[in-house]
A and B are shown apart, each in its own frame.
Chain A
Amino acid sequence: MAETSVDHAHDTHEHVGESQRWEGAVSPFGASYGKIMMWYFLVSDAFTFAGFLIAYGALRFSMPTWPEPDFVFASFPFVDAHWPLIFVTFMTFVLIFSSVTMVRAVQEGHRENQRGVVFWMFLTVLGGATFLGSQAYEWTTLIVKENVTVTQNPFGRHTADGVYLNADGSEAKNADGTPKTFFKDQSYLIHMHDGKPSGLVYHDPAQRGEGMTSHENLKIKYTTGAYAGQVKEAAFGPKAFGALFFFITGFHGFHVFSGVLFLAIIMINAGSGLYAARKNGYEMVEKIGLYWHFVDLVWVFVFLVFYLL
């Protein structure tokens, strides 16, 4: 077997001049029915995801405040620290790696290297499963530790500068005697006890480096803005946050899950020699490859919209 073999991926549409393309007997788009239909399925799925992301954007921009992504998404497995956006970056890398292993699998399919196809598809399946496990960790942290549901969002942001109050109405003080103040747009997380809000935590840059400061009841007083001087309770954040996050990442996760299932089936088929015997060879591997790259592509935009903007 020659080491430098030619890549046969483009055989279906070479040697056809433009004038011959629509005369019949060849596929005008130079691709098989199955491949074209996979592309059009992906176009329809792109519209579905775009619809959801557009709904997210429209609702988010209509709200006076929205949870700060680097405050909400800062946990990491096995580490009790506040590492903003690091775990979700790891998840992005996992999907990028799995896309790369998928391209290698398709390339091995063009060389009709059955063992190569199975090897690279297996790595892709592992990548997908790792992503699903990671997403499960994120959801568990949000639901169990931070009490986010589809109708409740304990991540809020202050709408003006102010100071935290004790239960008796006096100004709360930090350990070093300075008043516990907050500034406009500062994020906080309300923690719950027995299903009721019992206090909150926030990151105060002036106190203890990156650690969290906590305040054991919800009373606050604004010192600036339209409600200056008024005593209020720290409010829950917009409900739509939880619903949108779980629905959109859940829908994407469902695509990853079904993708992993299909990848596993096609990998087993390839291993059994089914595609070696086919006239169109390993084209099925290409088709599921297109689906898998689409899943990665959607994640690029979900990552952008939820975590970076």
Chain B
Amino acid sequence: MAEHQTYEEAKALVFRGLMLLGAITIIEVVVALLAKGHLIHGVNFSHGFGHYVYMLLMIGFSIYKAYFIIFFFMHMAYEVRGLVMSVLLPVLLLVWAIIAFFSEGSYWGRSRENIRQRNEETVKPASGSNTQGYYIIPGTEKQVKLG
């Protein structure tokens, strides 16, 4: 489905695109600075639930910018469906790769932390009439009975 734009319409689209991308970038940076506590003293979304919402918002903005650049600057909106699919489908497969590897990275982090804790644990051996030993939780004085 081809569209014939006049020259004026084409130029207007470009100007709209500049305003749109510029506005989204400014909003992204303002939200980032706000979330990291630089704009209003004490406001900080760096932890927990707020942090996930912040990350999703940033990713969402960037995906929208990418959509606009691909479909309107690179003209993908006007291309034949076969070309569009042969380009976009392989790239969309990367979404799963990203999710899988970030999850893998978190797993490596948890394993590292587990090994660090295990390296530091101490076991108090059984002594005299007490036939049971104690496991001492790392970094604390807390004893847990073994056996």
Instruction: State the CA gap A60–B55 with chains docked (Å).
Output: 15
State A6–B10 Cα separation when bound (angstroms).
10
Contact of B2 among A13, A84, A96 (CB under 8 A): A13
Q: Are A36 and B14 in contact (CB under 8 A)?
A: no
Partner among A31, A42, A59, A300 whose Cβ is within 8 Å of the Cβ of B62: A300
A100-108, A163-171, A188-196, A211-219: which lies at the interface:
A100-108
List, in ascending order, chain B residues with CB within 8 A of A4's CB: 6-8
Chain B residues within 8 Å of chain A by Cβ, number? 60
Known contacts A6-B6, A100-B18; A58/B108 CB under 8 A: yes
Q: Among the listed B33, B55, B73, B80, which residue makes an inter-chain contact with A103, where contact means beta carbons less than 8 Å apart?
A: B73
B83 pairs with A30, CB closer than 8 A: yes
A226 touches B138 (CB 8 A): yes
> Is A43 an interface residue when CB atoms closer than 8 A count as contact?
yes
Closest Cβ–Cβ distance, residue A85 to chain B (whole Å) = 6
Contacts A54-B98, A226-B138 given; indicate if A61 touches B106 (C-beta within 8 A): yes
Q: Is the CB of B113 within 8 A of A64?
A: yes
The answer to whether the Cβ of A142 comes within 8 Å of any Cβ in the partner chain is no
Q: Which of A293, A300, A309 contacts B74 (CB 8 A)?
A: A293
| Chain B window 58-102, contacts with chain A (Cβ cutoff 8 Å), 1 for yes, 0 for no | 110010011001100111001110110011001100100110011
Residue A144 at the B interface, CB < 8 A?
no
Q: Is the Cβ of A61 less than 8 Å from the Cβ of B14?
A: no
Q: Are A57 and B101 in contact (CB under 8 A)?
A: yes
Q: Is B66 a contact of A57 with CB atoms below 8 Å?
A: no
B46: which A residues are within 8 A, CB to CB? 185
Chain B residue contacts of A58, Cβ below 8 A: 101-102, 104-105, 108
Q: Which residue of B lies closest to A7 (CB)?
A: B5
The chain A residue sitting closest to B5, CB to CB, is A7
Q: Does B41 contact A (CB under 8 A)?
A: yes
Distance of B69 from chain A, by nearest CB (Å): 5
A141 within 8 A of B: no
Per DSSP, chain B at the interface is helix
Given contacts A10-B3, A293-B74, contact A30 B87 (CB under 8 A): no
Nearest B residue (CB) for A55: B101
Contact B108 A103 (CB under 8 A): no
Rounded to whole Å, the gap between the CB of B40 and the closest CB of chain A is 12
Q: How far is the CA of A274 from the CA of B100 in the complex (A)?
A: 49
Do A205 and B10 touch across chains, with their CB atoms under 8 A apart?
no
Q: A50-B94, A301-B66, A309-B55 are in contact. Are A29 and B83 (CB under 8 A)?
A: yes
| B133 on interface, CB distance cutoff 8 Å | no
Q: Given A39-B87, A84-B36: A59 and B2 within 8 A (CB)?
A: no
Within 8 Å CB of B78, what residues of A? 9-10
* A247 interface hit (Cβ, 8 Å): no
Q: Are B38 and A62 in contact (CB under 8 A)?
A: no
Contact residues, A1-52 vs B (CB, 8 A): 3-7, 9-11, 13-14, 21, 28-31, 36, 39-40, 42-43, 46-47, 50
Closest to A18 in B: B81
Measured CB to CB, the closest approach of chain B to A170, in angstroms, equals 25
Structural contact, A14 and B2, CB atoms closer than 8 A: yes
Chain A residues with CB under 8 A of B58:
304, 308-309
Chain A residues closer than 8 Å to B59, beta-carbon distance: 304, 309
Pick from A9, A104, A227 the residue with the most CB of B within 10 Å: A9
Q: Is B22 an interface residue (CB 8 A)?
A: yes
A184 to chain B, nearest CB (A): 10
State how many angstroms separate the Cβ of A66 from the closest Cβ of chain B. 10
Residues in chain A within 8 A of chain B (CB atoms): 3-7, 9-11, 13-14, 21, 28-31, 36, 39-40, 42-43, 46-47, 50, 53-55, 57-64, 68, 70, 84-85, 89, 92-93, 96-97, 99-100, 102-104, 107, 111, 185, 205, 225-228, 286, 289-290, 293-294, 296-297, 300-301, 303-304, 307-309
5 pairs, CB–CB < 8 Å, chain A vs chain B: A43-B87, A58-B104, A92-B25, A185-B46, A309-B58
**Interface residues in chain B, defined as those with a beta carbon under 8 Å from any beta carbon in chain A:** 2-8, 10-11, 14, 17-18, 21-22, 25-26, 28-29, 32-33, 36, 38, 41, 46, 55, 58-59, 62, 65-66, 69-70, 73-75, 78-80, 82-83, 86-87, 90-91, 94, 97-98, 101-102, 104-109, 112-113, 120, 138-139
